[in-house]
Amino acid sequence: MFLIDQTLGRSRRRDEAQRAAPHRASCCALTPMRQIIFILMLITLAACGAPAAPVDPVAAGGRAFTIQCGGCHAISEVGSAALGPRLDAMVARANATPDPAAWLRMSITNPAAEIAPGYRPGLMPISYGQSLSPAELDALVAYMLKVGG
């Protein structure tokens, strides 16, 4: 009986040692090869998290147009010409000037300077010079010149 107990005890201890051994090897002891793979994975992850390419101004301008202007104006297929003129004609007018982008920027930030024929003055907000950043304004103008020309 004692002999059996001793044998069982020894084999149980060996089992436990074997169970612990592979665990220790996989979790704590990184072989040099594993370290290299681990570092390569970190580099790949860092590359994935790098800042994306700069925002496309035309796409950003399109989103801004839909939100800020599309309630009153239409351009190409976007927005509704409920209150203001279709802006395709405005882009055509801008393109007839020496600096189309400057003309559009002026007509957005200072709409009262010239009133579109047949439309009521005072409806177009006069605040875009303050509420839009120069980059947002540039993006809007780039979008309008692209789709409305």
Q: Does 60 sit near ligand HEC (CB under 6 A)?
A: no
CB closer to ligand HEC out of 43 and 126:
126
CB closer to ligand HEC out of 54 and 117:
117
Stretch that binds ligand HEC, among 17-25, 29-37, 38-46, 108-116 (CB under 6 A): 108-116
- Please give the Cα distance from 143 to 65 (Å, whole number): 8
Would the CA dihedral through 24, 26, 29, 31 be positive or negative? positive
70 exposure class (CB count in 10 Å sphere: 0-12, 13-18, 19+) = middle
Cross-strand partners of 74 = 79
Q: Does 69 sit near ligand HEC (CB under 6 A)?
A: yes
- Please give the Cα distance from 46 to 147 (Å, whole number): 37
- Please give the Cα distance from 136 to 133 (Å, whole number): 5
Q: Which residues contact 86 (CB under 8 A, 6 or more apart)?
A: 73, 74, 75
Least Cβ distance, residue 74 to ligand HEC (angstroms): 11
CB closer to ligand HEC out of 9 and 125:
125
- Please give the Cα distance from 105 to 128 (Å, whole number): 10
Q: Does 71 sit near ligand HEC (CB under 6 A)?
A: yes
Candidate residues 21, 41, 43, 83; the one interacting with ligand HEC per rule CB under 6 A: 83
CB closer to ligand HEC out of 60 and 104:
104
Least Cβ distance, residue 56 to ligand HEC (angstroms): 18
Binding site for ligand HEC (CB under 6 A): 68-69, 71-73, 83-85, 87, 90, 104, 107-108, 111, 114-116, 119-121, 123-125, 128, 140
